[in-house]
Amino acid sequence: MVRRGGAGRRSQLANPFGGYGRRVAIVNGLAALALCVFPASAQQPVRLLVLGDSLVAGYGLPKNQAFPARLEAALRKDGLNVTVVDAGVSGDTSAGGLARLDWALGSPPPDFAIVELGANDGLRGLSPAAMEGNLDAILTRLKARGIPTLLAGMRAPPNLGRDYAAEYEPAFERLARKHEAILYPFFLDGVAADATLNQGDGLHPNARGVEVIVERILPYVKRLIGGA
């Protein structure tokens, strides 16, 4: 009886696909498959900084309805492990964004960045050349740190006239080309001037408007993250 039991155990251990050996082989195989499908880097959240003004900060909205929160939710819904870092400050100009950039980068630094600034420069009629210089400095610092960036463009307020718009609007395309950044031409695409998608001031998107922005910019953000 003992001899047969010992032989059975020897046979079981000698066969890697039987008993305990089989269970080990299956577990190891599944672990290897998981590493192939989900590499180790994918297990760590990607940090995406969004540097912007009230359009990012979610003026007039609960925090969970603001652009950073809704963008993070959309990315995670699509299976992307991304933490969106909200660096939006209402009323900020391009100069303000540049002044607080080092603080916004923080620790740990982001893996990617979205820059959405310039709307308040336009609303205040500030120099488009100065705005371009500020954004240029922001993109230069991000590039020097090896942080791939998406630049969100903006349109000039129509009341400032064609000459202002002709100087203001092309700045975003020039900067994106210079710094090899992904350009999203107009952050408020599909939302601007639509009363059903904006709050009472006609400037800031409501919750539905934010969802439209997220839906439209999402392919660009995926390209930013996937392209790296």
Among 69, 73, 67, 74, residue whose Cα is nearest residue 52: 67
Is 54 catalytic? The answer is yes
Among the listed residues 54, 86, 94, 121, the single catalytic one is 54
Say if CB 149 and CB 113 are below 8 A apart.
yes
Place of tokens 């020897």: 10
Measured in whole angstroms, how far is the alpha carbon of residue 222 from the centre of its chain? 8
Catalytic residue among 41, 102, 107, 201: 201
Q: Which of 94, 121, 179, 204 is catalytic?
A: 204
Q: Which residues of 19-51 are buried (b: 16+ CB within 10 A; e: fewer)?
A: eeeeeeeeeeeeeeeeeeeeeeeeeeebbbbbb
Residues with active-site annotation: 54, 201, 204
